[in-house]
Structure 1
Amino acid sequence: MDQPILLNGAYIDEHGTYVESGFLFIKDGKIDYIGKKNPLPNEEEIKTYVIAEGSVMIPGMIDVHIHGAAGADVMDGTEDVLNKMARALPAEGTTSFLATTMTENIDSIEKALIQTASFIKGQKPGSAEIIGIHLEGPFISEKRAGAQPKKFIKQPNVNLFKELQQLSENHIKLVTLAPEAEGGHSLANYLNNTGCIASIGHSDSTFKEVKEGIESGISHVTHLFNGMRGIHHRDPGVAGAALIQDELMVEMIVDGVHASPEMIKLAFHSTGADRTLLITDSMRAKGLGNGEYTLGGQHVTVLDGQARLEDGTLAGSILSMDNAVRNMIQYTGCSLSDIVKMTSANAAKELKVFDRKGSLSKGKDADITVLSQDHQILMTFCRGELSYHRKEE
């Protein structure tokens, strides 16, 4: 049995309220108590952490769109790379994620799905948990491919998706597709009816086509402003629809590169905290610095915080979730309660795992991120185990 852990300090509760001088008790990987009163008898042997003044406990962050980190990429299709990602992510406050594939040849996608499904079955506490797979492509628009290799793009196809979902052992939870493509509405409808999130992304849909896609089951937007038809004063496009259609949950890459701070602020005025999910869309270079890397077999150069293909196209990001948090606060002035929604609660609800993740509540997984006063990561607990502890300067 795991040694019980007591955290003593401020926290954001399940209602978004900031609570000072609280107690959070972890037992057997779950939150056994959270509140104002120390729940433990003095004689019980526990490991106690006192949270520094000005710091705060929040739910562990959930990244629904991440390709890689620490030199690893989901498409490498090995247990080692998934393990490397899972161990690296707690340092940025991430405790759960969707392993995200990309548009490549079907054999490579199948290999990645099979390996990820196998990895999910053997996961243990102590590192970030893969809670599903995000299939980004191959059912996208060639016109809006971005860094997705065009030669591997396929028309949306329900039968092909069924095969991929079977190989993933039903772990595909979110699919990015272009609904305007032939077969797009059928696939969106199938996804919606089988409990999988249908996301519009890498799409050239007009506003009218987005509305039709929503009627077919689209409920999510992949990386707002990127890989999509932008806003025009006579056609709001995909980006405009994301801002004004309340049915849509909206991903944002808040690195100041994929969208300017001003555009993030503009978007947040429309979507608010309730419809926004902060993501990283990071690739294998995250955490490794400037240099030469690959993405989907393509050469990528990372320089000055940007990852680009040889033609200058952005190739994912090297953004960490904690940097996304700090940027979002700086760009929009949002509150920590807003941050909890955008980094954890919204994703947990959308993925239907809010019964065990997404808030600091009794009975839920002890996925906990401790932020300093300046929103640096001090500690991260993954299912009750201390997975990252910042060393003193």
Structure 2
Amino acid sequence: MSSEGFVDLQVNGYAGIDFNDADITGEDLLHASQAMRQDGVQRFLPTVITDSVPLMEQRIKNLAELASQNPVTREMVAGFHVEGPFLNQSPGFIGAHPPQHSQLASVDVAKRLLAAAEGQVRIWTLAPECDPQSATTAFLADQGVLVSAGHCDPSLDQLKESIDAGLKLFTHLGNGCPMQMHRHDNIVQRVLSLADRLQIGLIADGHHIPLFALQNYLQLIPKDNVWITTDAIAAAGLGPGVYRLAGRDVRVAEGDAPRFDGSGNLAGSAATMPGMIENLKSIGIDSETIQAYCGGNASRLLDATN
């Protein structure tokens, strides 16, 4: 692989550290960053997920302050990814996010969270159908934020309208949606039909998307429009056990992805970027393309926000 290193645009936690923990310390963030560096990651975006707006505000502000305290974290933390709270609260689409805290998109809320991050939000995932007239999408795009659709079910026309307003990305295609959907007119097919206009994120752990389906997606998406992400939580790289994600217990069984107890719903991944690269190799992706998927394309997106 290239010495350029990998870039992960969606990391909820790593090596035992939950980035959505209100009590995270600078030492915690440094520990997670060093663990990612050992796994070849050069830059990453800590991701704050849906909760009450004051809690999201607090978590973002805390992370922004902690990231500035150490040379390693200053170098590796390339900003922040806000995932929510403007998400589709329907079962399946809401995924691991608490539905009671999802809400319609609001420029005022966006301003609050942007201020908490001191201008360091790089990506914001929202549901286009929860953004009336795409007003918040247009506002965020005007602020230099990369707006990504995710945990959503917009019609094709709504998706196109959002793209016209500034939407650039799609967050973890094939996830944040129900197990069963319309056989033809569904969010996966709509996004793939617009793959030339969107930068599409994919989780290549073999659990979120079966590898044969991932292979199909990659054949349809232009090489320059793919960004592979771990969507990692605190369990990443540690194996089976019980971990925390934003105040909730998540269980990782041997050979499985993290799941909430009871529901069995996926809750991020326990994967590392090297593990995903092995999966990509197993479906025939060459090293140059893997570097684009796992580093070059994401790096280009980040550089465009500076």
Match of 2:217 in 1: 267
The alignment's TM-score, normalised by the length of structure 2, stands at 0.91
Q: Is the contact made by 2:202 and 2:226 (CA closer than 8 Å) also made in structure 1?
A: yes
Matches within 5 A, 1:36-51: none
1:348 equivalent to 2:299? Answer: yes
Q: Give, in whole Å, the separation in 1 of the partners of 2:160 and 2:305.
A: 28
Alpha-carbon deviations, 1:299-348, whole Å to 9, x = none? Answer: 211102311012010010001001111101212x1211111111111111
Q: Is the contact made by 1:75 and 1:108 (CA closer than 8 Å) also made in structure 2?
A: no
SS of structure 1 residue aligned to 2:70: coil
Match of 2:59 in 1: 112
Match of 1:216 in 2: 165
1:72 to 17, 25, 33: 17
Provide structure 1 residue ranges, at least 5 long, that are not aligned to the other structure.
1-55, 356-393
2:190 is aligned with what amino acid? A
Provide structure 2 residue ranges, at least 5 long, that are not aligned to the other structure.
none
Compute the displacement of 1:91 (Å).
2.1
Match of 2:81 in 1: 134
Match of 1:173 in 2: 122
Q: Give, in whole Å, the separation in 1 of the partners of 2:75 and 2:213.
A: 31
Name the count of aligned residue pairs: 298
Compute the displacement of 1:159 (Å).
0.9
Q: Give, in whole Å, the separation in 2 of the partners of 1:60 and 1:117.
A: 23
Indicate the RMSD between aligned Cα atoms, in angstroms.
2.0
Q: Give, in whole Å, the separation in 1 of the partners of 2:84 and 2:39.
A: 27
Q: Is the contact made by 1:138 and 1:154 (CA closer than 8 Å) also made in structure 2?
A: yes
Q: Is the contact made by 1:141 and 1:204 (CA closer than 8 Å) also made in structure 2?
A: yes
Structure 2 CA distance for partners of 1:105 and 1:113, relative to 1, 3 Å? same
Alpha-carbon deviations, 1:203-244, whole Å to 9, x = none? Answer: 021222212221221110101100137874542x32123223
2:43 to 88, 96, 102: 96
Alpha-carbon deviations, 1:258-281, whole Å to 9, x = none? Answer: 011111010000113211111000
Match of 2:229 in 1: 279
Q: Is the contact made by 1:176 and 1:198 (CA closer than 8 Å) also made in structure 2?
A: yes
1:326 equivalent to 2:271? Answer: no
Match of 2:245 in 1: 295
2:246 is aligned with what amino acid? G
2:257 is aligned with what amino acid? Q
2:56 is aligned with what amino acid? I
Compute the displacement of 1:182 (Å).
4.3
Q: Is the contact made by 2:2 and 2:291 (CA closer than 8 Å) also made in structure 1?
A: no
Compute the displacement of 1:95 (Å).
1.3
Compute the displacement of 1:192 (Å).
1.3
Q: Give, in whole Å, the separation in 2 of the partners of 1:228 and 1:197.
A: 21
Larger radius of gyration: 1
Q: Give, in whole Å, the separation in 2 of the partners of 1:225 and 1:100.
A: 19
Q: Is the contact made by 2:147 and 2:168 (CA closer than 8 Å) also made in structure 1?
A: yes
Compute the displacement of 1:81 (Å).
2.4
Q: Is the contact made by 1:94 and 1:128 (CA closer than 8 Å) also made in structure 2?
A: no
Q: Give, in whole Å, the separation in 2 of the partners of 1:109 and 1:165.
A: 11
SS of structure 2 residue aligned to 1:344: helix
Q: Of Structure 1 and Structure 2, which has the larger fraction of its residues in strand?
A: 1
Match of 2:202 in 1: 252
Aligned sequence identity (%):
28
Q: Give, in whole Å, the separation in 2 of the partners of 1:188 and 1:150.
A: 21
Match of 1:202 in 2: 151
Structure 2 CA distance for partners of 1:184 and 1:108, relative to 1, 3 Å? farther
